[in-house]
Structure formats: C-alpha cells, structure tokens
A = this chain, B = another copy of it.
Amino acid sequence: MNKVFEEITELSLKRALFYPSAEIYGSLAGFYDYGSIGFRVKKKLEDYWRWFFLKSLGENFHEIQPSELMPEPVFKASGHLEHFEDPVVECSKCGFVERADQLLEGFLHMVFEGLSSEQLDELIKKHGLKCPECGGEFKRVFSKSLMFGFETRKGMVYLRPETAQGVFVDFKREFKANREKLPLGLAVVGKAFRNEISPRQALFRTKEFTQAELQVFFDPEDEKHEKFSTIEKEKARVVLASERDKGEQLLTAGELAGRGYFEKYVYYLFMMKKFYESLGLKELRFYEKNEEERAFYNKFHFDCEVFFKSFDSFREVAGLHYRTDYDLKNHEEHSKQSMEIFANGRKFVPHVIELSFGIDRTFFALLDKGFRKDGKRTWLSLPRQVAPFVAGVYPLVSKDGLDEKARQVYELLASEFDVFYDEKGSIGKRYARADEIGVLYGITIDYDTMKDGTVTIRDRDSTKQERVSISEIGQRIKRVFDSLYY
C-alpha cells in the first residue's frame, strides 16, 4: 500500500465511492459500504459481467439467486465446516491476533499460503517472531473457522462463504427446467461472508464481499470447445505450477491445451482475459496454484491477477477452477439424492469449471487503474461500461435562460442516458467534481447556445472541448458507446 492507495481511499470517502460501514460508531474492520457514486459503478460492473458471460458468449448460461443463509448439511457436504479455516497466531500477553501466514509474510516478505498450522508454528519459532504490538510471545498456531453460523430452532444456519454451493444444490432442478442440455452454466452475483482474522487493504480482504461466480456443468468426456479455434493463437501471460522456475511465460491457448489443460478450461481462461482487457485492465496474468496452495478439490486452479499501482504488484481479482465432480458427488452422498443426469447417451455426474470473480477487487482495480493526477487536476479514467454517469449537463451561469435551456438538454438526454444536471458553483468546480468520479463528458450550455443551439462537449480524459448542436448530442454519445462497449 502506498500513496496511490491512500489517495484513492481519500477520494472514495469524499466522493461517496466506498467508505467504512457504521463509520459513526468507529466501524468494524472488514466491512465497507458502497456510496451513491460507487454503487453506480459497482452495479454497472455487475451488469456488464452479466452481459459478457451470460449473454454475449451465447451459451446455455443463466443466473439464479439462492439464499445467502443455508442450513448446516450443505456445508458439511461441501467440506467448509471441516476445512474452511485459517491458521491464527495469538499473543499470549496482549491478545493481538493475526493470520499466521500473513504474520510471516509481513516479516519475511515471502508467501506462506497453504502451509499447515504445524509448519507455520515451526517457522515462527525458527525466526523467533514476537508480537508486533507488545513484543510478547505467541501461543501455538491454531485453526479458526471462517464461517458465520447462527443457531435456529431447526439447527444451525450459515452465511455462505462462496456463492457456488447454492448452485450445486439447485443443479438438478435447473438442469430440468433448462431443457436438460449440457453444458449448462449457472451463475450467482451476490454477497458471501468470511470471518477473516485480519481483514485489510480496504476492499481487498473484507468479511462481507460480492462475488460473481459462474459454474459451467459439462460432460467430462466432452472437453472440446466449439469456439476454441477462434482463440487458439491468442496469447496470455501465465505462471505454471509445474514450470514455476521459468516465471512468467507468454503462451498461446493452443500451447496451454498442449500442456494438458483441456480446451473448455483454456477457452474460459481466455474469456476471463478478454473480460478484463475490455475494461482496460490489460496488465494481467494467470498464476497457477500448486498442489499445496490450491483447495484439494481443484484439479486446475489459476488465479487471474491484475497489476495494482496501489500495491505495486500483481493481485488476485478472479480465479478459474476445475472443481471436477467433487461438489456434486459430495452433495449426492450427503443428501442421498442422485446428481446423475442423462445426456449424450449415458448417465453420469457432470464436471464443473468455476469462473469466480471478486467484484469488490475488480471494482478496486478499476479505481486503481483509472486514478490520475496531473498537477492540480485529479480524475478517474473509468471505462465507458462502468462510468457512473455518461455526462453532466451544466449551464455556464444560472441566469439569462441558460439554466432553463440546460434543463431542457438534460431532460432530452435523461430518457436515454445516465446524465445529471448541476448548476451549483463555478463551471471549473463542476468539471473538477465530475472528473473525480469519472463522468465521461461535460455538456455546457453557454451564451452561444442561446444564439446557435450548439453546446460544448468536454472529454474527461483529454479535457478537449468540441461544439456540437443539441440535436446531435445523443448520436455523438451513442457512436462512442457503439465503438467501445466491449
């Protein structure tokens, strides 16, 4: 975290992008609210994700909305109740707690994810680490569940730690309702909850967060993808678990498929890449987790990482997981309900590729990428798909009929675009405010407007202004959208 991170956080507070929850009560670490501007961006990001993955790919993909609270048997079957926990160190003197791997990471500047409590304990002893708050000794490393559980009269219920489990338990019903065809994609965009020991870095590790997850159910004997040839020669930056010594490599889809990752998997990896690139996040790579790092049910696991100025490093924003038939088989066993389906001439339990996106992290990546400072001017260069407003409409001054005219222009545009009207303060201040929240255009009504019916359109990024007649504004905006929306 550096100055950029601080500047973005500060801007977020000022401009209602995001801020700590229950701030007036001192707030609780790990909870953030989206403000009136931030929520516009977040909603557009979610809707763009839906458009990209559920509509534009043209596959049999649908969204459902399962409950966030689910009963105990679901998480017994999924393994979350037994395995979903973090290793924790606690100071024996002052009670300070921290995730053991993160404590080590902070001291030794290496990654320790995936080590056992015993291994972490040994490392802490070996390096003689002491409490950073009071210098006290640490107790033995222990495990702590990340699940939020609530007792009810009918047994425990838990807030889901990932949206995926709702999809697995609903699979059979959705398969039937969607014409019994594979592949079938079932997505959820919604909240998930993890009782993290050390929430940190603003939206980056929180206790309540938004995921967009897509589970693609497919026949394991049908690993090809009909559109694979369209991406076969495209390249992605990858770090392979088996070739980590080689570091980052630039490999084509075809080369990846040649290394044993099957076509469908590689195809969706490139769709992830395309999604982020279409949002201007082009500095990205796919980092494969090795056997110790990945969950035991994932056969393949790549993190999709984007470069953040705020951290001066790559950070995970999404993941691509080949979960095999692990989840459906476990739910079959625990629920005694068959998860077999009949397709392609035989009965079997489908396999699953999971595309899992952190919406908050992606949102933050967009702020990080878009944040610009140039002398006194600060602006957010957000991509068109997620800018909170297309345009602000401003009368140069609020008199001589300019305000009325501006209101008319606003009304004209409001039925088709996200625009706002603003007459408060100097025109410079209005531009500055709009720049800070990433508004694409400023449309100003001045004295010339009253004579010749033209307005100025100011571009957020270049600040260049152009004169356009009122009747052409709509077409002008649409043209930009058509050429750039995905």
Contact = CB atoms under 8 A, between A and B. Distances in A.
Interface of A: 13-16, 19, 21-25, 27-29, 31-40, 42-43, 55, 58, 62-71, 73-74, 97, 148-150, 152-155, 157, 159, 166, 169-170, 172-174, 177-179, 186, 191, 193, 195, 207-208, 331, 334-335, 337, 414, 422, 424
Nearest to A34: B65
Contacts of A174: 16, 35-36
A193 to B, nearest CB: 7
A68 B43 CA distance: 17
Contact of A73 (B22, B150, B172, B195): B22
B424 A173 contact: no
Nearest to A168: B24
10 contacts: A13-B173, A25-B73, A28-B152, A33-B170, A35-B170, A36-B177, A36-B178, A38-B65, A39-B63, A150-B159
Nearest to A14: B177
B39 A152 contact: no
A24 B175 CA distance: 14
Nearest to A74: B22
Nearest to A33: B66
A97 B208 CA distance: 33
Given A35-B64, A174-B36, A193 B69 contact: yes
A386 to B, nearest CB: 15
Contact of A62 (B22, B36, B424): B36
A38 to B, nearest CB: 8
Contact of A150 (B22, B36, B149, B337): B149
A22 to B, nearest CB: 5
Contacts of A169: 21-25
A337 B331 CA distance: 49
A152 B23 CA distance: 18
Contacts of A14: 177
Contacts of A29: 154
B177 A25 contact: no
A64 B207 CA distance: 19
Nearest to A185: B36
A205 to B, nearest CB: 15
A173 B17 CA distance: 11
Contact of A68 (B24, B67, B208): B208
A178 to B, nearest CB: 6
Contact of A71 (B25, B170, B193, B331): B25
A177 B36 CA distance: 8
Contacts of A166: 21, 33
B71 A16 contact: no
B33 A67 contact: yes
Contact of A191 (B186, B191, B207): B191
Given A42-B65, A55-B414, A69-B193, 20 more contacts: A16-B64, A19-B170, A21-B66, A21-B166, A24-B331, A24-B335, A28-B155, A31-B69, A33-B64, A33-B170, A34-B64, A34-B66, A36-B62, A36-B64, A36-B174, A37-B177, A68-B208, A69-B208, A97-B153, A150-B195
Nearest to A40: B63
A97 to B, nearest CB: 7
Contact of A179 (B71, B154, B424): B424
B154 A67 contact: no
B33 A65 contact: yes
A39 B186 CA distance: 12
A36 B63 contact: yes
A31 B67 contact: yes
